[in-house]
A and B are shown apart, each in its own frame.
Chain A
């Protein structure tokens, strides 16, 4: 199953759990599963049904570009990291 690595500051929603193996095949499914397992964490990642603009998704070490539409493989590792493009304004 794909593994989602929980960002350090969101581990308060997971009781300290750092990694979660979830049965999704897209980022949307993984976040839904994550929210079911750890209520509230999905709201930290989503805004208007897509990934928050301040967050980037890394799939297997590469920044993904499709938001919740990106697909993942059976053994993918997914990270949520700060969007790094030069900040706000």
Chain B
């Protein structure tokens, strides 16, 4: 279902062709990172810390090195010193010293699973056996697992060099404080008839991609290295590995393999520099593949944290003030997405008076990484629950409350400047008019909840080239690993501009030596920014086609037009010529045609989504079953609607998992107790209904095709929508996620006890 406000007479864009990478994937021919094999290849394994927080007093590798089949062992002593300084690396701001410390622990281990040493051997089993022979002496320190503990005066300090922007030269676990303010908060609350104040907590959760991290590194004697790996950004793997290894960027080539899911989690490096380092020591290719347990213990989940939120509204339903305090668990090194969360938490609404204080806090957990709309789902859980409560106080339908307070073109963003053309209200109206919202939900212990979400979306750098082949078909080459069907959309954009069927365009994801710099596939940026580069590259090819046809016809280029895939000479008597007819004449008219473009894309259009969920709660067990779910999301323009719907459904499914089950569970020693998919439970098809979708198309004026980007915002509303639905089902306002059966049952029993106590008192 689609509600489109975009215009445009498209022939390919907006259709639903079969994906070009489909056959290879269903036949098993697609090559994922772990599929790569080379003659003489060795296998690597990583020794990981059993402690959450400890000083490494010594590492002895002699016994392990003597094990037959073991070829090399590396520890942090094999890494060059890295600078303690912030650097820009693609989408990320990185501190090379912390990055290096995360790849291999230096003098301290900072979380359960922190890498200490890596072994290369002739088989994975020998490498694993060698890990058992490495002797590490630790001095165990108290683990700091939560923001509450980390922020307490006198808390154990994780990073001796860490200083923040407010406390001078004092060691701290608070890496940074962000603050955003507008208006007069005290006056705003004075004008409010209703004020709701709540404290929320959320758990650390993982992206749950099915394919574990992997890397094959080959270091040649000429000083050149090649890395084959599963990544969302080959260029980022190259630059980050260069920092860690102390190598020039130009000496590293990264070949992105097919990717089995990333969702933000594959935007950094873990195994890649280790594979190169071990290859350099042994002279052989070295492959490393994480186990599921390693993925959960030692890759980058999204943070849990705490949010205290106070909001006020007038009796007629106008939001007038908000005061927000939020702190996120960055993991062992600074860099949680708390600033993003702060800028998104009330972004869908016009609130004239607010103050948001946000803290990035290091704790003894794995360093967090991006996860769809980083930092925002946690934030929306708090704000969208309180907004639901305010709507109820005001006696206003929760969708109408959102529409009445919602931002539109010209409304100020949290950081001040006005929004350009946006589609938030349209997503609310699409849900309000959906068959789902119009249907009646009946039955005991059933409830319906709604929530909305905002995400910035990103632009950044992309390169593309469009090659016209000698038979008049084409290929489009980009540097964006395809994480959500982007090869289809790049081929479709090319086909649209060239006026040819999509099946005549072959899309390719190139390695870092074969295409211009392209930032990571993240931030919902690929269809927007790489799509912009592809659009421009295809237009560059068209310009060249016009020049060639003009040569053939002995006319000037401005006497030739290109429309509907045909070249037309102005004036009568010259029959039009197709690209297929012109292609054989390329050699006589100047040679091959390649359209090229590189962009640092401006004109990003932010994304909004609104979701409605029906649930049924089992009051005796606390188990929640999602009965029905519909999401409306503004895509700007859906290039391939099926893949847009797939992103909407995928993000919603992950959001429901976040709401109901998923959490990192650490014991009091800081050891992760659920490092497998049996105990870290992501939703299965038995847990979810078919998620209904409504694509809203409010064209982004900053993109030639109106594209916004659709990969992230769908994950923002579900946690709050489920919480609001649970409230309507059983009368309990949940302030802690996940709302797992034991946690919800406890809340139901408490609520029931309070109700019985109140009835007895009456």
Chain A positions near chain B (C-beta within 8 angstroms): 5, 7-9, 47, 52-54, 58, 60-65, 77, 79, 81-89
Question: CB distance B92 to A88 under 8 Å?
Answer: yes
Report if B374 contacts A (CB, 8 A): yes
Question: CB distance B334 to A81 under 8 Å?
Answer: no
Question: CB distance A79 to B86 under 8 Å?
Answer: no
Question: CB distance B417 to A60 under 8 Å?
Answer: yes
Question: CB distance B86 to A88 under 8 Å?
Answer: yes
What is the distance, in angstroms, from A18's C-beta to the closest C-beta of chain B?
8
Interface footprint category on B: 35 or more
Identify which of A9, A65, A83, A87 contacts B177 (C-beta below 8 A). A9
Question: CB distance A65 to B522 under 8 Å?
Answer: no
Identify which of B179, B267, B343, B419 contacts A86 (C-beta below 8 A). B267
Q: Contacts A8-B181, A53-B93, A62-B604; is A87 near B413 (CB within 8 Å)?
A: no
Most buried by B among A61, A62, A89: A89
Question: CB distance B419 to A89 under 8 Å?
Answer: no
Report if B643 contacts A (CB, 8 A): no
Some 10 contacts from A to B, beta carbons below 8 A apart, are A9-B179, A61-B420, A65-B459, A77-B417, A79-B415, A82-B178, A86-B267, A87-B93, A87-B368, A88-B92
The distance in angstroms between the C-alpha atoms of A87 and B523, with both chains bound, is 12
Interfacial chain A residues near B165, Cβ < 8 Å: 9
Chain B interface, DSSP helix/strand/loop, else mixed: loop
Question: CB distance A87 to B336 under 8 Å?
Answer: yes
Known: A53-B88, A86-B369, A87-B337. 19 other contacts (CB 8 A): A5-B416, A8-B179, A8-B180, A9-B165, A9-B177, A9-B179, A47-B86, A60-B417, A81-B343, A82-B339, A83-B93, A84-B340, A86-B335, A87-B93, A87-B360, A88-B334, A89-B98, A89-B334, A89-B367
Q: Contacts A54-B86, A61-B420; is A85 near B180 (CB within 8 Å)?
A: no
The distance in angstroms between the C-alpha atoms of A12 and B337, with both chains bound, is 25
Interfacial chain B residues near A81, Cβ < 8 Å: 339, 343, 415
Interfacial chain B residues near A88, Cβ < 8 Å: 86, 92-95, 98-99, 333-335
Chain A interface, DSSP helix/strand/loop, else mixed: loop
Report if B250 contacts A (CB, 8 A): no
The distance in angstroms between the C-alpha atoms of A58 and B416, with both chains bound, is 10
Report if B91 contacts A (CB, 8 A): yes
Interfacial chain A residues near B368, Cβ < 8 Å: 87
Question: CB distance A9 to B415 under 8 Å?
Answer: no
- B321-360 interface (Cβ within 8 A of A): 330, 333-337, 339-340, 343, 360
What is the distance, in angstroms, from A71's C-beta to the closest C-beta of chain B?
13
Residue of chain A at shortest CB distance from B417: A61
Report if B283 contacts A (CB, 8 A): no
What is the distance, in angstroms, from A52's C-beta to the closest C-beta of chain B?
7
- B146-173 interface (Cβ within 8 A of A): 165-166
Interfacial chain B residues near A64, Cβ < 8 Å: 602
Interfacial chain B residues near A89, Cβ < 8 Å: 92, 94-95, 98-99, 102, 268, 333-335, 367, 369
Question: CB distance B367 to A58 under 8 Å?
Answer: no
Question: CB distance A61 to B419 under 8 Å?
Answer: yes
Question: CB distance A84 to B335 under 8 Å?
Answer: no
The distance in angstroms between the C-alpha atoms of A82 and B368, with both chains bound, is 18
The distance in angstroms between the C-alpha atoms of A65 and B598, with both chains bound, is 14
